[in-house]
Structure 1
Amino acid sequence: MSQTYIGYHGTTVSRGENILNSKQYSISYKEEEWLGKGVYFFEKDIQQAVNFCVKARKYEDYLVLKSKIEANICIDLDNLETMKILERISQEIKNRYMKLKDGSPRKLKNSVILEKLYKIKQYDVVKKTFPVLKTTNINDTNFIWVQVQICVRNRECIKTIEEVMRNERSYIFN
């Protein structure tokens, strides 16, 4: 039985227009990706996509796309059983992947562990709740700011792509 997700993807205006014209997202293959290879979305939260564009990437012009994602196999990294599997894989690979291909030190082994998991069980989507970096708890509570990220490994699961927000701040004046 498939699971349906709504995801928001923030990008530059030019990349967003390319996605809309081609009707296809590009897959991110970076070695340090938090959730491995795939197309990244924020689940159900357009403001997280805006924050990514404005605060993390500092894009002057950005576009937010909304997609409906239908996945048959989802790896939920908020599930304790799944985390136990990832821990076993991490112990198995130990220190074999401490450097990136260019020889620089690796910060995270996330993508290595998820690649190994993908070889064991090919999944469509991986999902995880992360704390929002550089924020504090809400006063006098233990509530923390979080974001739910989805990485779509199988692009055929992306059923729709639509523009939902555009911010063009840079203009050329003659």
Structure 2
Amino acid sequence: MNLYDTMYGRLPNLVIGFHGCDESTFEKVLNQKQMLHSSTNSYDWLGNGMYFWEQNLERAWQWAKESKSVEKPAVLGAVIDLGYCLNLLDSHYLQILKNEYILLKQDIQIAGLPLPKNKGEDKTGNAMLRNLDCAVIEHLHTSRKEANYLPFDSVRGVFWEGDSIYPNTEIKEKNHIQICVRNPNCIKGFFAPRGFVESW
């Protein structure tokens, strides 16, 4: 870990995350005290881990309702300490990831394999299957482990997604900050999001 990581690599506050899921997962985690399973798909947007929408309950509900893998939509809330975070809203970590792409590309070429690609575009041109991004991020995690560097507890990224909310703007309907938690100890607790008290 370098000086920058020591001083600025840990985000100092707790965040609220929301995880869209099936009601069965909601019940297992909240009522049966089971841990949320990590996603290990080769197309995960921020690599492998447990995914949350940062401070975005509505987007979590949208995802759960639109997902073909969900029978009964539900949303889990979580209190998260991001710990040592690969924060892709920070130029320092963006440069690290940019360099890692070059290292991955070299390793792939030596192995004689094709470089993964982001694919599966939606109607607005956003790649929905992030195979390349996942490969770069996972390559970084593996490289750090092999070098005995401190592992990242979480990954955080911003995504511009969906249609423009009005003409001539880059503000999209589904813009969000996504969190991928790798270290389960970063999750301080799960909760059931509650409704707003209208009378207050």
What TM-score, normalized by structure 1, do the two folds share?
0.80
In structure 2, list runs of 5 or more residues that go unmatched.
1-9, 117-128, 145-149, 195-200
Answering whether residue 71 of structure 2 is matched by residue 42 of structure 1, we say no
Distance 1:70 1:153 in 2: 11
Aligned equivalent of 1:151 = 180
- What do residues 33-85 of structure 1 show as CA deviations (whole Å, max 9, x unaligned)? 11111100000010110111112447341111110001320111122221121
Note the 1:113-132 alignment, pairs <5 A: 113-119=136-142, 120=144, 121-132=150-161
* Larger CA deviation: 53-62 vs 149-158: 53-62
Distance 2:130 2:138 in 1: 16
Note the 1:8-157 alignment, pairs <5 A: 8-20=18-30, 21-57=32-68, 59-94=70-105, 96=108, 98=114, 108-119=131-142, 120=144, 121-133=150-162, 135-145=163-173, 146-157=175-186
Aligned equivalent of 1:6 = 16
Q: Give the counterpart letter for 1:31 in structure 2.
A: S
Partner of 1:164: helix, strand, or coil?
A: coil
Partner of 1:111: helix, strand, or coil?
A: helix
Aligned residues: 160
What TM-score, normalized by structure 2, do the two folds share?
0.71
Q: Structure 1 segments of 4 or more deviating over 4 A? A: none
Q: Give the counterpart letter for 1:116 in structure 2.
A: H
Distance 1:151 1:67 in 2: 12
Distance 1:142 1:111 in 2: 25
Distance 1:98 1:111 in 2: 15
Task: State the shift of 1:98 in Å.
Answer: 3.5
In structure 1, list runs of 5 or more residues that go unmatched.
101-105, 166-174
CA RMSD of aligned residues (A): 2.4
Task: State the shift of 1:31 in Å.
Answer: 1.2
Structure-2 change in CA distance of 1:58 and 1:39 (3 Å): closer
Structure-2 change in CA distance of 1:89 and 1:157 (3 Å): same
Task: State the shift of 1:7 in Å.
Answer: 0.1
Q: Give the counterpart letter for 1:11 in structure 2.
A: C
Aligned equivalent of 2:5 = none
